[in-house]
Amino acid sequence: MKITRNASAHWAGTGKEGKGHLTTGSTVLNETQYSFNTRFADGVGTNPEELVAAAHAGCFAMKLAFNIQGAGFAADSLDVRCDITLEDSGITSSKLTLKASVPGLDQAKFDELVEDAEKNCPISKLLNTSISVDATLA
């Protein structure tokens, strides 16, 4: 199965003083503001790194849910935070922090399923960076 999703960016002005907006095909983001300040300071709006972090956290959580289901379990909750680091004009790391509640799942199997999700969620495969996961099973 092939799925294509899209988003668009509009930018006007210089890199530092300009401003733009982002829109996704689903319109969940609809002319959502972004600028130098939302990326490198504390402006109101979003930024590419925040969107990559959301994509990686969501992708990882869904892949892990499928892994857990395939092992015969169901998660009560999978809470994932992703921290994307931008330095020297490049994304240098993606750190996933997971807090999971999966009744009946033992630590060894949990670790195996997490490792597979880390390596095989589509966003992990897309990123050419160091990816790490800090996972806790409650």
Q: Where are the domains of the chain?
A: 7-40, 48-137
105 and 65 Cβ atoms separated by less than 8 Å: no
CATH topology assigned to domain 48-137: GMP Synthetase; Chain A, domain 3 (3.30.300)
Q: What is the pLDDT of residue 32?
A: 95
pLDDT tens digits for the chain (138 residues)? 899 999 999 999 999 999 999 999 999 999 999 999 999 888 889 999 999 999 999 999 999 999 999 999 999 999 999 999 999 888 999 999 999 999 999 999 999 999 999 999 999 999 878 889 999 998
Q: What is the pLDDT of residue 90?
A: 87
Centre a 10 Å sphere on the Cβ of residue 32 and count the other Cβ atoms it contains: 16
Q: What is the pLDDT of residue 128?
A: 77
Q: How far is CA 125 from CA 56, 60, 61, 94, 117, in A?
A: 10, 11, 14, 12, 10
Closest among 36, 9, 38, 45 to 24, alpha carbons compared: 9
Q: What is the pLDDT of residue 121?
A: 96
Q: What is the pTM of this model?
A: 0.89
Cα dihedral 4→29→26→79 (10° resolution): 80
Q: What is the pLDDT of residue 133?
A: 94
SS3 68: helix
Buried b (16+ CB within 10 A) or exposed e, 85-107: eeeeeebeebbbebebebeebee
